[in-house]
Amino acid sequence: SAVISQKPSRDICQRGTSLTIQCQVDSQVTMMFWYRQQPGQSLTLIATANQGSEATYESGFVIDKFPISRPNLTFSTLTVSNMSPEDSSIYLCSVRDESGYTFGSGTRLTVV
């Protein structure tokens, strides 16, 4: 399966600021996904990022709040913009590969 490197692993940010999370994959993949994992809740899909096209956002998530870039088949970024304490969560990138769906180790974000 693909190996995913996600950065940063954790961060503490001030409200009103933005954080960009990077996801690097060791092989070329068509589909990349960004998830949010809040305590006691299911992993929730934020958006699907395909190279060469705009990301597709799930209900409740908008591009202005979570802009995504996908410049090539091995890299993507998710930005959490104008953060509030409600954005404190774990953010995970995932790819669809020959094994199924592989996840990065996540970014633990705390907004103060």
Partner 1 sequence: QKEVEQDPGPLSVPEGAIVSLNCTYSNSAFQYFMWYRQYSRKGPELLMYTYSSGNKEDGRFTAQVDKSSKYISLFIRDSQPSDSATYLCAMKPGTASKLTFGTGTRLQVTL
106 lies in the site for partner 1, by CB under 8 A: yes
Eight-state DSSP code of residue 86: G
Residues 110, 88 contacting (CB under 8 angstroms): yes
Piece of 13-21, 39-47, 65-73, 76-84 that binds partner 1 (CB under 8 A):
39-47
| Contact residue for partner 1 among 13, 22, 31, 51 (CB under 8 A) | 31
**Shortest Cβ 69–partner 1 spacing (Å):** 19
Dihedral (Cα; 79, 84, 89, 91), 10-degree rounding? -10
Minimum distance from residue 34 beta carbon to partner 1 (Å): 12
Residue 73, interface with partner 1 (CB under 8 A)?
no
Residue 1 lies near partner 1 (rule: CB under 8 A) = yes
Residue type, 80: V
Q: With DSSP H G I counted as helix, E B as strand and the rest as coil, what are the percentages for the chain, rounded to 5?
A: 5, 55, 45
If phi > 0 it is left, if psi is from -120 to 50 it is alpha, else beta; for residue 9 that is: alpha
Q: 48, 74, 76, 89: which one contacts partner 1 (CB under 8 A)?
A: 48
Site for partner 1, rule CB under 8 A: 1, 4, 6, 31, 33, 40-45, 48, 58, 92, 96, 99-106, 108
